[in-house]
């Protein structure tokens, strides 16, 4: 997230909301500042926030999937009068706090390496990787090096996929989300609407899917990793983050905010987001096992849901642009589907700092991990 004066109010209110989410529990969210060693209570030269998040990893040349940690880094900021590389230095030093001490040597000219007291270390377990979502392009974060010269947060331009499509008014005015009996959930076209109460069940389905995703990857040359959808707070985070700000409640769903839809093994999580996303846009934060066969009925359901609350566009990241799913999406008439790569400033580019091996790959870069 980018800090700027124009959005100060939204940022502060979102930060306030975030402090109450599960993600921030147990000091999961921390604020870091760079100060002079000789004057720790003095001026702040730069700051950032980290979110401690559980993750899954299949290490290089290993077969098993193991639990690990990662950190999402956000709100990187240098006070205007100190913009001389202090923000970059904070992130360079931070690698040596977040990662197990087997990184390249801490450069002598940076002084003594940072150290945490054992009690602090309990709150900041070693991580396999950390990531940023850059709104200032890819170069700045890649130069937040690990040691003198190992690339910091690497943005792979080809992985910043996005797809936009049009939400259309439903053709069938009479259609509705039917319930099969009193107390039953809403359904349409066999899609079950998901609410907060469904999240624990859905999260464990998503975790299993994420593990399968890793199992199927080759680790001969490098590790592969993903955030754990079951980890405290991550999956709810996009949804809860999206609640900052005033919205029309969803009338057809008893005014309760839906979190996604499910049909069989296929899960599609979505949210209305905050100031970083246009007000008329529905974001799909996470899909699992979505195929081109699911697409027509899924889009019908999203049309009906979205139109009720003034949504006109949909936005999704992280789909393989060569997949049959994406090609079918592009071929749908009237949807004005646009497939491309996020580029430049304000493009929310995922940059990954790899602490296990330099070739490690974050296999899932959908929108749900955008902080």
Ligand X SMILES: CC(C)(COP(=O)(O)OP(=O)(O)OC[C@H]1O[C@@H](n2cnc3c(N)ncnc32)[C@H](O)[C@@H]1OP(=O)(O)O)[C@@H](O)C(=O)NCCC(=O)NCCS
Binding-site ranges for ligand X (CB under 6 A)? 2-3, 46, 76-78, 83-88, 134-137, 140
Distance of alpha carbon 151 from alpha carbon 136, whole angstroms: 17
Residue (88 or 263) nearer to ligand X, CB: 88
> Do the bridges between strand 224-227 and strand 260-263 make them parallel or antiparallel, or are there none, so unpaired?
unpaired
Distance of alpha carbon 104 from alpha carbon 117, whole angstroms: 22
Residue (17 or 135) nearer to ligand X, CB: 135
Q: How far is the CB of 97 from ligand X (least distance, A)?
A: 17
Q: For tokens 């069940």, name the residue.
A: 201
Please say whether the dihedral angle defined by the alpha carbons of residues 122, 38, 40 and 1, taken in this order, is positive or negative: negative
Residue (63 or 109) nearer to ligand X, CB: 109
Q: How far is the CB of 204 from ligand X (least distance, A)?
A: 33
Residue 120, CA distances (Å) to 1, 23, 45, 123, 325 in order = 25, 18, 22, 5, 46
Residue (20 or 83) nearer to ligand X, CB: 83
Q: How far is the CB of 65 from ligand X (least distance, A)?
A: 31
Q: Tell me the three state secondary structure of residue 34.
A: strand
Q: How far is the CB of 258 from ligand X (least distance, A)?
A: 30
Residue (135 or 308) nearer to ligand X, CB: 135
Q: Tell me the three state secondary structure of residue 303.
A: helix
Distance of alpha carbon 34 from alpha carbon 177, whole angstroms: 53
Structure tokens at 17: 């909301």
Residue (134 or 219) nearer to ligand X, CB: 134
Q: How far is the CB of 346 from ligand X (least distance, A)?
A: 9
Please say whether the dihedral angle defined by the alpha carbons of residues 243, 314, 312 and 132, taken in this order, is positive or negative: positive
Ramachandran category for residue 100: left, alpha or beta (phi over 0 → left; psi -120 to 50 → alpha)? beta
Q: How far is the CB of 167 from ligand X (least distance, A)?
A: 29
Distance of alpha carbon 90 from alpha carbon 130, whole angstroms: 14
Residue (31 or 204) nearer to ligand X, CB: 31
Distance of alpha carbon 116 from alpha carbon 114, whole angstroms: 7
Q: For tokens 């907060």, name the residue.
A: 196
Q: Tell me the three state secondary structure of residue 297.
A: helix
Structure tokens at 349: 């580019």
Residue 185, CA distances (Å) to 158, 191, 256 in order = 40, 10, 12
Residue (153 or 191) nearer to ligand X, CB: 153
Structure tokens at 262: 């499910």
Contact at 8 Å (CB) between 306 and 258?
no
What's the maximum distance between 2 C-alpha atoms anywhere in the chain? Answer: 71
Residue (78 or 240) nearer to ligand X, CB: 78
Q: How far is the CB of 316 from ligand X (least distance, A)?
A: 21
Which residue's beta carbon is nearest to the bound ligand X?
Answer: 87
Q: How far is the CB of 163 from ligand X (least distance, A)?
A: 23
- What strands lie across the sheet with 260-263, from one edge to the other? 187-188, 191-194, 260-263, 266-272, 281-288, 313-317, 161-166, 338-341
Q: Nearest-5° angle of CA 242, CA 244, CA 247?
A: 85
Q: How far is the CB of 283 from ligand X (least distance, A)?
A: 19
Residue (65 or 353) nearer to ligand X, CB: 353
Q: How far is the CB of 371 from ligand X (least distance, A)?
A: 10
């Amino acid at each position: 997230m980018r800090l700027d004066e124009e959005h100060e109010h939204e940022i502060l209110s979102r930060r306030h909301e975030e402090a109450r989410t599960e993600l921030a529990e147990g000091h999961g969210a921390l604020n870091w500042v760079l100060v002079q060693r000789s004057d720790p209570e003095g001026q702040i030269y730069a700051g950032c926030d980290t979110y401690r998040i559980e993750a899954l990893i299949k290490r290089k040349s290993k077969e098993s999937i193991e639990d690990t940690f990662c950190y999402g880094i956000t709100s990187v900021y240098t006070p205007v009068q100190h913009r001389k590389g202090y923000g970059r230095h904070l992130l360079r030093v931070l690698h040596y706090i977040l990662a197990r001490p087997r990184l390249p040597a801490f450069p002598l000219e940076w002084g003594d390496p940072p150290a945490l007291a054992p009690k602090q270390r309990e709150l900041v377990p070693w991580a396999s990787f950390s990531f940023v979502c850059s709104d200032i392009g890819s170069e700045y974060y890649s130069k937040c090096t690990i040691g003198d010269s190992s690339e910091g947060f690497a943005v792979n331009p080809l992985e910043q996929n996005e797809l936009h499509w049009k939400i259309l008014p439903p053709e069938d005015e009479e259609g509705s989300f039917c319930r099969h009996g009193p107390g039953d959930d809403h359904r349409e076209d066999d899609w079950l609407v998901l609410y907060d109460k469904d999240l624990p069940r859905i999260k464990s389905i998503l975790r299993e899917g994420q593990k399968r995703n890793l199992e199927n990857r080759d680790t001969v040359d490098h590790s592969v990793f993903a955030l754990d959808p079951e980890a405290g707070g991550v999956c709810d985070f996009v949804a809860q983050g999206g609640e900052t700000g005033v919205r029309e409640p969803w009338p057809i769903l008893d005014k309760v905010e839906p979190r996604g839809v499910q049909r069989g093994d296929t899960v599609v999580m979505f949210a209305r987001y905050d100031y970083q996303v246009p007000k008329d846009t529905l974001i799909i934060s996470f899909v699992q096992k979505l195929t081109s066969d699911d697409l027509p009925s899924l889009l019908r359901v999203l049309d009906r849901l979205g139109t009720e609350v003034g949504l006109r566009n949909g936005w999704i990241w992280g789909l393989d642009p060569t997949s049959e799913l994406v090609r079918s999406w592009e071929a749908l008439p009237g949807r004005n589907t646009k497939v491309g790569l996020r580029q430049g400033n304000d493009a929310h580019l995922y940059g990954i700092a790899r602490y296990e091996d330099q070739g490690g790959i974050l296999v899932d870069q959908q929108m749900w991990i955008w902080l």
